[in-house]
């Protein structure tokens, strides 16, 4: 039986979580959603994801903090950082702190799926 890869989507915007849930579910992934970084960390610890997609600007716990904590707790975990509020410098910082790929909003959902496939070796 083929492994069902789990994607954790961490974003405070319900529309983005719904979009990514729909796109990744259609691409054959299991999707778990979290509305902020703190909830994302809890979700990952309860049931580890194979890949995390996180926004950078969120209430409770921002994406940079989330990336840093996930990288520390789960070395090698592929993380994709997305952001509409932050662009160049913040996305570069996310990459330096552990994000495997970065995308500015608005992004092409198919490019995100392609990046996930690449990061997971699919």
Mean pLDDT of the chain: 93
* Residue 1 placed within a domain: no
Collapsing DSSP to helix, strand or coil, 51 comes out as strand
pTM, to two decimals: 0.94
pLDDT digits (tens, 9 = 90+) for 41-87: 999 999 999 999 999 988 888 899 999 999 999 999 999 999 887 66
Q: Is residue 69 part of a domain?
A: yes
Residue 32 in any domain: the answer is: yes
How many domains does the structure of the chain reveal?
A: 1
Confidence of residue 97 (pLDDT cuts 50, 70, 90): confident
The predicted structure's pLDDT at residue 86: 65
What does the alpha-carbon distance between residue 56 and residue 59 come to, in Å, rounded to a whole number? 10
Domain that holds residue 79: 6-117
CB 102 within 8 A of CB 81: yes
110: domain CATH number? 3.40.50.2300
pLDDT-based confidence at residue 1 (cuts at 50, 70, 90)? low
- Per the CB < 8 A criterion, the answer to whether 15 and 35 are in contact is no
Residue 122 lies in a domain: no
Calpha distance 93→96 (Å, rounded): 5
């Amino acid at each position: 039986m083929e492994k069902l890869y789990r994607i954790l989507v961490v974003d405070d915007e319900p529309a983005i979580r719904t979009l990514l849930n729909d796109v990744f579910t259609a691409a054959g992934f299991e999707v778990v959603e979290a509305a902020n970084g703190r909830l994302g960390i809890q979700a990952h610890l309860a049931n580890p994801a194979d890949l995390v997609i996180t926004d950078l600007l969120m209430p409770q716990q921002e994406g940079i903090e989330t990336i840093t904590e996930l990288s520390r707790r789960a070395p090698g975990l592929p993380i994709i950082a997305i952001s509409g509020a932050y662009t160049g410098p913040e996305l570069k910082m996310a990459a330096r702190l552990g994000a495997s790929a970065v995308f500015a909003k608005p992004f092409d959902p198919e490019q995100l799926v392609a990046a996930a496939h690449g990061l997971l070796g699919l």
